[in-house]
Chain A
Amino acid sequence: MKNLHEIRTSPQAWTASSGPLVVIDKLRIGFEGESVLNDISLKLLNGENLVVLGKSGSGKSVLIKCIVRLLKPESGTIDVFGKDIASLNRAELDEVRRKTGFLFQSGALYDSMTVKQNLEFPLRRTMKNLSEKRISEKVAETLENVGLADTLNKMPSQLSGGMRKRISLARTIIVDPLIMLYDEPTTGLDPATSDEISSLINDVQKKYKTSSLIITHDIECARITADRIIMIDEGKVYAEGSIKDFESSDDPVITSFFKKFSN
């Protein structure tokens, strides 16, 4: 197993032979006595886009928040880069988080900072040896990659929903993560912008060689991005397969979900 130092110094050090990047085993979590996830197990393989489908309230967002330890599970284990996330100290956890990008449902851009400052924030904290010139270059280059080079000095309040998502994605990819976690990336966007964001997820995967875990209930997003799909129902993994498997399935739960959430 590669250690975290190797991963940090060489982003591509995690090869297919290194095994899955994320392994979740029998994860169980609940709130106020109510079970949300019940014995969930899954693996995120190197270089794949894994889509986790499920209804609102099925615990999808809880699942990815557990991966970066924003939430602590009641039982079960989560291994990220071969390390049990629950047993890491703060410094080790920060190392894992540096290589794990998280796109929040709301975008979570810092309101008091300009777009430039939003992008510089994680960069200055994770890559401390970068010169001011290199930081500016990296910010400009990343904004170019998400198609918003002209927003450098704008405040988040001056941006549309789709632009906020793109900037948020730029802020996440600027530190060259190995894993991307997307929490409902197309929620609240019109169909055209949703498709643009879904295509951007694919572009990011190709350009930055990331492995992505995409939480969504948007079937179109799953169609565009998924290499593999896992469906969660009532706190458990209900089904797993390709988009074709799901679309051709005659299982009542799957057909009902696809009918309800297809545009």
Chain B
Amino acid sequence: MKALAPVRKIKKYAADQSVKLSEKSFAGAGRARGFLIGIANSSQFLARIIRETFSPRFEFREFLRQCFQIGYKSLPLIAITGAIMGIVLTIQMRPSLAEFGAVTLLPGMVTVSLLREIGPVVTALICAGKIGSGMGAELGSMKVSEQIDAMEVSATNPFKYLVVTRVLASTLMLPVLVIFADASGIMGSWAGVNIKGHVNLVLFTSQCFASIDFIDFFPALIKTFVFGAVIGIVGCYKGYTAGRGTESVGKAANSAVVLSSLLVIIADMIAVQITDMML
């Protein structure tokens, strides 16, 4: 019997490991299932947004209210951030350009960087934080406090009223905000140039516009529509599908910011690749 003891130990060890392995496999399968269900649900949500956008009775008043909330109320934040971006870019670029005696290229370089990349991406990330989290938290708390159900029984389509209007407003307002961010960035750059010298505003802006082309502006503007749509869809999806507890409101807001920021970066990478292929 003593001789069999090590064999029993090995068998027990193997059985334990097998149980642990199967537990891990189940947990992994559960996560994969959850991920696939998430993709299916978000696809359905997106399809419903498209369908409801083109079906009759457009909630125009609520759409205008959302444009005001998303666009006008984000303007001070975007303008200040844009101006600071312009100042910082100018101050950072100046020494490198001065080494090559190319300080006169500064307005053009700052403008191209702002228009092509920094303006759209930074504005989109700020909006993902401000607008995305706001949508996630607002719709999540409306769900928890039965306000969405109340809307439903008031013979109103809450999806159309709450989701479609917000997604359209963020899609249309983000490009406007980016244009403001770019403009205030150029003004910030002019202020940055004037810290160590003196350049006339008219001369500065004419140098800025002389260095940019249609191709610098147009693809960047197109991608901001995509960024706006991504922020709106993710924010609304996370809020509208939040659980029933108050904890889910915080989770909805948090995951709306994380996911929309990530998707904005990915969308930017794809947009840059497409623009590069077209050039």
A residues in contact (CB < 8 Å) with B:
65, 68, 70, 90, 94-95, 97-98, 100, 102, 104-106, 108-112, 121-122, 125-126
Contacts and interface: CB of A to CB of B under 8 A. Distances in A.
Sorting the interface of chain B by its residue count into under 10, 10 to 19, 20 to 34 or 35 or more gives: 10 to 19
For B147, B150, B157, which residue has the most chain A Cβ atoms within 10 angstroms?
B150
Contacts of A108: 145-147, 149-150
Contact of A104 (B141, B149, B155, B157): B149
A106 B155 contact: no
B156 interface: yes
Contact of B154 (A106, A109, A111, A126): A126
B74 to A, nearest CB: 17
A102 B141 contact: no
A174 to B, nearest CB: 10
Contacts of A126: 154-155
Given A65-B149, A108-B149, 13 more contacts: A70-B149, A90-B157, A94-B155, A97-B154, A97-B155, A104-B146, A104-B149, A105-B146, A110-B150, A110-B151, A112-B138, A122-B155, A126-B155
Contacts of B150: 102, 104, 108, 110
Nearest to B155: A94
A209 B152 CA distance: 24
Contacts of A97: 152-155
Interface of B: 138, 141-142, 145-147, 149-157
B154 A125 contact: yes
Contacts of B156: 121-122, 125
Contact of A70 (B145, B147, B153): B153
Nearest to B148: A108
Contacts of A104: 146, 149-150
A112 B141 CA distance: 11
Nearest to B69: A112
Contacts of A110: 142, 147, 150-151
B52 to A, nearest CB: 12
Contacts of B153: 68, 70, 97, 100, 102
A108 B154 CA distance: 12
Contact of A121 (B138, B145, B149, B154): B154
A53 B256 CA distance: 40
For B138, B146, B151, B152, which residue has the most chain A Cβ atoms within 10 angstroms?
B146
A24 to B, nearest CB: 17
Contacts, number: 47
B46 to A, nearest CB: 21
Contacts of A105: 146
Contacts of A94: 155
Contacts of B142: 110-111
Contacts of B155: 94-95, 97-98, 122, 125-126
A-B residue pairs, 5 tightest by C-beta: A108-B150, A94-B155, A108-B146, A122-B154, A104-B146
Nearest to A70: B149
B141 A106 contact: no
B141 A111 contact: yes
Contact of A106 (B146, B152, B157): B146
B66 to A, nearest CB: 11
Contacts of B154: 97, 121-122, 125-126
Contacts of B141: 111
14 contacts: A65-B149, A70-B149, A94-B155, A97-B153, A100-B153, A102-B153, A104-B150, A108-B146, A108-B149, A109-B147, A110-B142, A110-B150, A111-B145, A122-B156
Contacts of A112: 138
A106 B157 CA distance: 20
Contacts of B149: 65, 70, 104, 108
B158 to A, nearest CB: 11
Contacts of A111: 141-142, 145, 147
Contacts of A68: 153
A5 to B, nearest CB: 15
Contacts of A122: 154-156
A68 B151 CA distance: 12
Nearest to B65: A112
A88 to B, nearest CB: 12
A98 B154 CA distance: 7
A32 to B, nearest CB: 13
Contacts of A121: 154, 156
A210 to B, nearest CB: 15
A208 B265 CA distance: 57
A65 B146 CA distance: 11
A160 to B, nearest CB: 16
A70 B231 CA distance: 28
A90 B160 CA distance: 13
A110 B150 CA distance: 9
